[in-house]
Amino acid sequence: MELTEEINRLKAERQAIIVAHNYQVDDVQEIADYTGDSYFLSKICAKNEAKTIVFCGVRFMAESAKLLSPEKTVLLPEATAGCPMADSMTPEDVIRLKNEHPKAAVVCYINSTVDVKAECDVCCTSSNALKVIHSLKEEEVIFIPDPNLGDYVSKQVPEKKFYFFNGPCVTHSRVSIEEIKKARKLSPGAPIAVHPECPPEVVAAADYVGSTSGIVDFCRNSDAKCIVIGTEMGILYQLKKDCPDKEFRLLTPRLLCVNMKKTSLESVYHALRDNKTQIEINSTAADKARLSLERMLRA
């Protein structure tokens, strides 16, 4: 309790807000002013009048917040909280794809570095990827870096031709169709809700597919008393909080992102007390990267 009180004192002193992704540990989600998926938190950070943003998530999320609000102080409590998907692709990879498919628009999942975003036309999240694709005039789309989300979206827009990069989420790509079949036997009648970062065969076998916010909304509105969840286990905190009368079963215990689990109450406290780790974007590509994010929010 004492640590929580000290965090709240420092937060007020610094005119700060704490935002946390749905995959963060329970204590961090509890202390946050806002929790949600990347799209929701991007909008919050862009519009909020706080002078300091403590972003409890991974580096690309904090960088996106800084791009959208360059005048604000953005803190990432754990400096080593990265994202293998974001690190899987370089700007040179994007340039190569653009040279191979010069007529294609480049849509970049927000799970990417600043320099990769700068080479793209528009960013998206799993919440608004389909909306972003529909907003494009081009008939061809380079979708990067996640081929699983790209595959899911492309099947809903058959009139466009898609090109992908092989940079899937290491956590969601672990899920197998065998685990879906096992869940059907262990929880007969329970709907299975999965994230579109899962492999295509898993997505095809699920009852609901959506972002973390989408999964939360699905569970809130479902009449089912037991629901199987196919995304990172951190989401269970919000689900149990919102729906105490329902049972939630994780599709597989392998749905754990070690980077998302690095942030603790102690690291949030130290971030506020010591101004760490402050996000600075010195890339000459910052303006281009910012434009791709702003286009995402306008789509």
Specify the pLDDT at position 191: 98
* Token duo for residue 290: 């910012």
Question: Does residue 76 carry a pLDDT above 70?
Answer: yes
Domains of the chain by start residue, with CATH: 2-82+260-274 (3.40.50.10800), 85-170+286-298 (3.40.50.10800), 172-250 (3.40.50.10800)
pLDDT of residue 1: 62
Q: Which two tokens stand for residue 288?
A: 């281009």
* pLDDT higher than threshold 80 for residue 299: yes
pLDDT of residue 284: 85
The whole-number pLDDT of residue 179 equals 97
pLDDT tens track for 126-150: 999 999 999 999 999 999 999 999 9
Q: What is the pLDDT of residues 53-66, one digit of tens each?
A: 999 999 999 999 99
Mean pLDDT value across the chain: 96
pLDDT in tens, 247-271: 999 999 999 999 999 999 999 999 9
